[in-house]
Structure 1
Amino acid sequence: MAKRQPKLVLAPAQGIPFNLLVLSQSNVRRVKNGVTIDDLAVDIERRGLLQGLSVRPLLDAGGQDTGTFHVPAGGRRFRALEILVKRNRLAPDAVIPCVVKPADGDVSAEEDSYAENAFREPLHPLDEFRGMQQLVDQGGKIEDVAARFHVTPAVVRQRLKLACVSPVLHEIYAADGMTLEQLMAFTVSDDHARQEQVWELIQSHHNQSAHFIRARLNESTVPARDPRALFVGIDTYVAGGGCVVRDLFEEDRGGWLQDAALLDRLVLEKLGAEADRIRAEGWKWVEAAIDLPYGYHHGLRPIEATHTPPTEAKLAEVATLQAEAEALENEWSGADEIPDEIDARVNALDERIAELAGGSWNYDPAEMAMAGVFVTIERNGELSVDPGWVRAEDEPVVESEPHGEGEGAQREDGVDGDHRQPGLAPESGEDEVQTEEEDEGIKPLPDRLISELTAERTLALQDAIAGNPQVAFAAVLHNLVLATFYYGRAESCLMVTLTKVGFGFQPSGMKDSPAAVAIEARHAMWKERLPESDRDLWDALQMLDANEQAELFAHCAAYSVNALYEVAPKYDNGRISAHTVERRLVHSHVLARAVGLDMVASGWKPTADNFFGKVTKARIIAAVTEGKGGETAALIDHLKKPDMAREAERLMDGAGWLPEPLRTPELPAQADLLEAPATSELPAFLAEPDVSGDEEPMAIAAE
């Protein structure tokens, strides 16, 4: 029969006066680590001794009990108690709870010291998060909790944020199913259901990084650096009931605004108030929008503001302000640090001086009554006001001056006073009357005669210009510049017209694209160089050298380039046909090859907003397969459409892939040209689906 092992007998605990304890040389801890002794003393002073000391009787050289005890395990607590005794916070003979081990036991004092530290396990981070949450829930302030545990308040807030993550994800983290970095990423959202949804999403995804988790959680929010948020202000948004989520673990540049609908409403309300204020100044109309489209002022005529120099009183105020600013600068020029109020005062003086010294720019009230203002938001969140634009329908109607009662008068029947309409024979006796009138003195030439003479001159001028390419180029350039910079003022005798292309459909933010920014910058540069009056334009153009004229010509001509695809109606409506669109696009490829157009180099790349989110899942997969290969496309083929579009954008970044409408077809080889049929085929993206049935195909209208 097996012998039963005896039950354990634990060493008794007893209270021992502190002055009977000494630090043992058997303590294996030699290197300072963790909380300092002084901090531990403060903690013991607040909450008492949470763990007793392990002691053994101290024997003399003869093996006799000396009545004192040495401390092989708990040396840091012993030193902390020493500090409290020195500070008179603890009596020298205060009773200390101790576990007394025998002096000659089977286990050595060194082993006890080592075991006490080796088998000690720190709190799991999740327990730490929850523990701090409980302390705050019990009424503790974040600052007080931070002071008690010798951390900063920011650390406590981070722990509290981690404690607020979905309990489902807590359990996964506790079971080592996710990393601490991943758990930290989930704190950017307070929606537990959304957190769990994103976690399920990334389980079958190759990218499970914290950055990817944050991006998925914030995809429906608005960054605090968004122009709309900067324009309204975070404080106004929060006061309106909005919520801002901050990332306590990463740089978030202000966080994310959770209620995009509220933000847009606040933006429109503020823009509307600004529009009402500006309209009250006397403008006919004010158009306010969060994002004005590219070319919003095309076809409109600008009116010029008049500069009014500063008055004597304002100049006197400028002198006074300058004296104050110089005095402050002299006073603080040698200081190591300038107080904030002094710096603010100097800046305010400089702004006021610039405002007064610059005079004012004002518009004629009569012109304001027929003109309007565009109001929008700049990319930095500032209000943008673009005043002084006249629409074509608001242009004043210029009535033609009536002719006198003599030869220039027009009769009610439509016949001029000096001749009938072209093709009609003169009435009997008209020549005799005209001869008698001419004898009375020199009269203006008849309109018909002037038309006949100028017809001959026009024909001769056409022939002369045809023989002088330099003048012909200058005349066309003059006409294009008039249409581009002077808004169609008919000061040219050429019937050449420049039609600026309008974009009926355009993606949001197109006006901030690299091409749009470059065109606007070039336009502003030339506008600065050209004269204010169109009457001085011809002479100004002659002062440009050949290269400058060519550059200006190209800038103006570019506005008429139309490479747009348009849906042609089934039946010709007299405006556009499928044949016209086809020929237009074919010629656009010719120009694109001539200038070496590269849409990738121009800054275009496929995103969820401009492409992937607007096509079918099958086309997304086909695009990723073409751009990155079938293996990459297989990574996203199981995702839902929104997630697939976003992942396709990430995967295709830098691939240099373009959808077919943005590509420039290569010229076919010579052999292909010889074998090609006489008719050209439509590009694939223009090809119509096959039509079943017995109906004959619709004839293409002639161009």
Structure 2
Amino acid sequence: MTIQSVKLAKLVLSPINVRQAGEDFIEQLAADIAARGLIQNLIVTPAKKPRGTFAVIAGSRRLRALELLAQRGDIDAASYDVPVLVLSGSDALLSETSLAENFQKLAMNPADECRAFQHFMGTGGDIDGVARRFGITRRFVEGRLRLADLAEPIFTALAERRISLDIAKAYASTASQDRQLMVWQAYGNQSYQSADSIRRIIANETMKSSEPVARYVGEAAYVAAGGKVENDLFSDDGDRWVDPGIAQTLAAAKLEAEALRLGEEQGLAWVRPIAGTSTWEAARDLHRIHLPTLPLTLEQAERLDTIATRLEEIEDAMQGVEGDEDEATYAALEEEHETLSDEAQEIHDRPQILPDELKQKVGTFLLLGRDGTTTLDTTYYSETPIRVVAIEPDADGDEDKAGEDGGERAPRGFHIEEGPVTTGRSAAAPVAPEAEAPGGKALSQVLYDQLTVQRRDVLAASILANPALALDYLLFAMIDGRVNMLSHSGTTIRASHPQDPMLAKSVPATRARDYLAEAYDGLDASWTEACDKSSSGAATIGRFEAFRALGDEAKTAWLAWIVAASFEAKDGYTAKQNALQNRLATILDIDVATWWRPTAENFFDRVSKGVLLSLLDEVGGPALSARHASQKKPEIAASCEKLFAGEAIVEAEVKAAALAWVPNAMRFLDQADDADTGNNDDADAGFADLIVSQDPGIDDDDDAGDDIGDDIDIADLIGNDPDDDAANINDAANDEIEIVAAE
């Protein structure tokens, strides 16, 4: 082994160098080499071609940094000497050396980096100079210097690797060592605390400069009032204001003044400021005023009729557009439809009429948006119930015209009906027993709401000990919510109707849809009839108790149905398939071709002639596609329908390919299945293994279940007698249950 100098132009990257993807931080490394030169030599071996060159087997990042400097003109590749260690040996030995050189490197402790930057600053360096010499950003240097100023116990924990760099950054989000130590002493020994939780605890008594109140007040006004700002070097959410009380006081005064000005300008009884976008809490004891809208002019009414007629024409035309060849036509129709729909919506969204005689009786709210700007709410409220009735004009009156353009007649005036002042609950209304305080008076709304939340928490804590009852409740809430529109089960658990991209009546019928409908008809729905008609609450209880009394087989049938009825067709408005649905299809080993066949109605009539010919070429080769090339599209579609239904007389291999074909949109493209996940049959059971018992008595050859369910016994799970003959999940799902998404 010898160390010598080699011109940069004579160095190439060896194909056996283990670090081939070494582009990270090349700019930073190049800046360091430009400032200090190459500190560590490269390891090379003589290259066979081109003659006289050397292949770099260790030091690829340094080589790329040098090449970057040469490209910029900072160094001359032909004359720049690079110190190298020359090795000779077999490719295996050289590759092992490359791996060892890279594998044995140990990243520098962040605490050491902090001390180093602190040392540079103490020897007369400046932040910008250090950043340039090391090829890093000023913010990075400031961050390491902030970490160097951590309270001693926290910095020591970082140096000893007892806390991560992210945790240390969370503590350093404030420059106050007192606040750091306060949080460290309370939470430093709790290993479950995350960086986010530490940052939230530290920020609890501060305000981000990106918050609405801070944006509204402005940093200049805040600082002028004595507020202090801490730079948060480890977050992109803005700096921290450590005196939020000052900002809130300034914001309140500014909002009050603006509300007063707007109230006088608008002539309203009051305008109340809210440091947020929601009026729910502030308006809960007020009465919303429903105002009439500005009437349609004759011109607007005629325009709406014209738009409605044209929209019908466009929709009919769009239905007749076929295939890719008319994409431009379809896009133009779609754009026109959208433009006209927007225009019609603008006409319908006419402004409300606030009569002058009503202004001194109502008010509204001044809202503070997330961007720190204010807006005046367009909804009006009063402390007294008020009803505004428009007085229709006389049929032959002249003053009833909306304008000189001959528009529709405007109201001749308004009749305002006022009721007694109330706080939202009628004085004569009886107090509900649950809202009654000792002595017969009603609890305040805020207290009652707080008590309902606390009562809910007691129920939630108690049901943890009875998972069988929880499962019954879960199934009932999902199913009853679907089959009974007025169901109130007291939970957020839902299995709402999927938001399909098309109405069911617009989708061609399929074998799977018929199978689902038959399955739904076969479910045990006796529990839905068990209800007390005296009250909705009693009816719900009656159905719940009847559902609990069902056997295991009936419950698992309903379980399978509600899951099946919950599937979405696709992820929102995207064209992407749902990855988890695809994985389920793989586990179930679904053969789409046995459930769905392409027909003229559902596919062939909906694509272009070119697509059909390409499909025929795919399943039968050029000879089959050429046979149909001269035919018209309807004829080709009819031939395809017979071929892909297995009714055409063709070669056996062509028939097999046609019967197996389905479009990609009908395939379940499972990414996990494409990549070898190493899953086995035991893993397929997944979460079921955690909550159900295993039944060793099931025959492994029992073909009732596929992947899931052959060894699942849910008797213990749903709370029935374990000695009962519990139904196997897949037996119920595959042999007895046919599932339908309820229309």
TM-score class, shorter: 0.3 to 0.5
Normalised by the length of structure 1, the TM-score is: 0.38
Bigger relative CO (Cα 8 Å, ≥ 6 apart)? 2
Normalised by the length of structure 2, the TM-score is: 0.36
Higher-Rg structure is 1
